[in-house]
């Protein structure tokens, strides 16, 4: 009985432990410099005026930050909470260095000489390091320590895995929070860059609304040709989106655009459609 009570206390203590902790003391030798920072959508501009919109479009909810010092070295650590894991991952995929592979930190992360980022659940962490030199050892230490304090989703959104790998620029799939392909009617969705064009995938709330959206898309592109993919599909040409093939499968609308000459748009879109669950 005593043992059960002890375990219960342990569980309660663990649950009560502060989550998403950022602490300069997490890595030996570092100390906090100045007060902690805290921002919400209404005052994020105080901290990063000129860059805040880039957070707000990914449904930014709040940010906590600290600055850590070790001798002359400074780390500026900011942990942002977005509305959900999908948008947190979207923020990460928009701001990560697209020429450097994603590491398995949380849902994904990168540690560069002067910058580290990772996303886990609905949290997006950024660390900027000064002065100019390789800070990756310290950055890795903080990333590991902070990542441990965040619970929740560690896998990227399912839709990312639906993009066919053949020809896909590695780690290029990202969430576009508004106007996918520059089309306002495609409100939010994923884009993946391929050697021969780009793929997109938009989820509507229902198959009916997706069907209505397909009609609007066809009207917008003008002349189109029906093709046999999933529930319905068409190919067309557009001055800025070049050759494109769009399909609807249930509540999802997807396809390829900006296809380079000679590439079979229908075949490419068929592969994507086959992956959509």
Partner 1 sequence: MKDKSSRRDFLALGLAFPASAMASSSLSGPIDPQAPKPAIQSTGGLSYRVLGKTGLKVTTVGFGCMITSDPSVIEKAADLGINYFDTARGYQGGNNERMVGAALKAKRNNLFIATKTGASTKQEALDHLDKSLSELGTDHVEVWHLHAKSKAAQLTDELIEAQQIAKKQGKIRFAGVSTHSGHAEVIQAMIEKKDHFDVWLPSYNFTMEPAMQALIESAGKAGFGVVGMKVMAGGFRRAKPGEKLYDTLKRDGAMLAALKWVVKDTNVHTTIPSITDMEQLEENMRAMTVPFAKSDETVLAAQLEHIRPLYCRTCGECDTRCPKGLPVSDILRFLSYAEGYGQYSLGRESFLSLPSEARDVRCGDCSYCSVRCPHGVKVAERLGRAQEIFA
Which of 46, 166, 195, 208: binder of partner 1 (CB under 8 A)?
A: 46
Q: Which region among 12-20, 22-30, 93-101, 211-219 touches partner 1 (by CB under 8 A)? A: 93-101
The CA distances from residue 54 to 87, 90, 92, 110, in Å, are 12, 11, 11, 19
Q: Is 258 in the site for partner 1 (CB under 8 A)?
A: yes
Alpha helices in 96-163 (DSSP H): 136-148, 158-161
What is the closest distance, in whole angstroms, from the C-beta atom of residue 43 to partner 1 in the complex?
3
Q: What tokens were used for 192?
A: 């993946």
Find out whether 245 and 256 touch, Cβ atoms under 8 Å: yes
Q: Which of residues 224-253 bind partner 1 (CB under 8 A)?
A: 239-241
**Smallest gap, in angstroms, from Cβ of residue 123 to partner 1?**
17
Q: Does 56 bind partner 1 (CB under 8 A)?
A: yes
117 touches partner 1 by CB under 8 A: yes
Q: Could you tell me the smallest distance in angstroms from the CB atom of residue 73 to partner 1?
A: 15
Residue 62 binding partner 1, by CB under 8 A: no
Residue 136 binds partner 1 (CB under 8 A): no
Q: How many binding residues for partner 1 (CB under 8 A)?
A: 36
* Tokens 């900006």, located at residue: 258
Measure Cα distances from 2 to 5, 6, 9, 15, 264 in Å.
Answer: 5, 6, 10, 20, 69
* Residues 167-206 interacting with partner 1 (rule: CB under 8 A): 176-184, 191
Phi/psi of residue 235, nearest 5 degrees:
-115, 155
Can residue 51 be called a binding residue for partner 1 (CB under 8 A)?
yes
Burial classification of residue 166, based on how many CB atoms lie within 10 Å of its CB (0-12 exposed, 13-18 middle, 19 or more buried): exposed
By the 8 A CB rule, do 41 and 60 touch?
A: yes
Q: What torsion, rounded to 10 degrees, do the Cα atoms 141, 101, 163, 180 define?
A: 90
Q: How far is the CB of 29 from partner 1 (least distance, A)?
A: 24
Part of the chain binding partner 1 (CB under 8 A), chosen from 54-62, 68-76, 136-144, 263-271: 54-62
Using the minimum distance from each CB to partner 1, give the nearer residue, 134 or 178: 178
Q: 45, 70, 140, 266: which one contacts partner 1 (CB under 8 A)?
A: 45
Q: H-helix or E-strand containing 229?
A: none
Q: Which positions lie near partner 1, rule CB under 8 A?
A: 41-46, 48-54, 56-57, 94-98, 117, 132, 176-184, 191, 239-241, 258
């Amino acid at each position: 009985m005593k043992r059960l009570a002890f375990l219960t206390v342990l569980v309660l203590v663990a649950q009560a432990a502060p989550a998403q902790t950022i602490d300069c003391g997490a890595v030996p030798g570092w100390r906090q410099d100045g007060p902690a920072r805290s921002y919400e959508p209404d005052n994020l501009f105080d901290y990063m005026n000129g860059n805040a919109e880039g957070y707000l479009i990914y449904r930014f909810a709040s940010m906590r930050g600290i600055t850590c010092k070790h001798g002359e070295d400074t780390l500026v650590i900011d942990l942002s909470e977005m509305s959900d894991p999908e948008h947190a991952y979207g923020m990460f995929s928009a701001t990560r260095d697209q020429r450097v592979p994603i590491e398995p930190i949380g849902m994904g992360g990168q540690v560069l000489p002067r910058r580290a980022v990772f996303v886990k659940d609905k949290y997006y962490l950024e660390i900027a390091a000064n002065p100019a030199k390789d800070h990756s050892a310290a950055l890795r230490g903080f990333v590991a320590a902070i990542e441990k304090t965040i619970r929740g989703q560690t896998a990227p959104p399912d839709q990312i895995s639906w993009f066919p790998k053949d020809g896909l620029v590695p780690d290029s799939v990202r969430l576009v929070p508004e106007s996918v392909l520059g089309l306002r009617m495609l409100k939010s969705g994923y884009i993946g860059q391929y050697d021969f064009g780009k793929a997109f995938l938009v989820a509507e709330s229902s198959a009916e609304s997706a069907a209505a959206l397909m009609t609007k898309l066809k009207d917008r592109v003008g002349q189109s040709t029906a093709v046999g993919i999933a529930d319905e599909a068409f190919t067309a040409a557009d001055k800025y989106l070049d050759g494109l093939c769009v399909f609807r499968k249930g509540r999802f609308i997807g396809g390829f655009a900006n296809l380079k000459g000679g590439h079979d748009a229908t075949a490419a879109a068929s592969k994507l459609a086959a992956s959509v669950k």
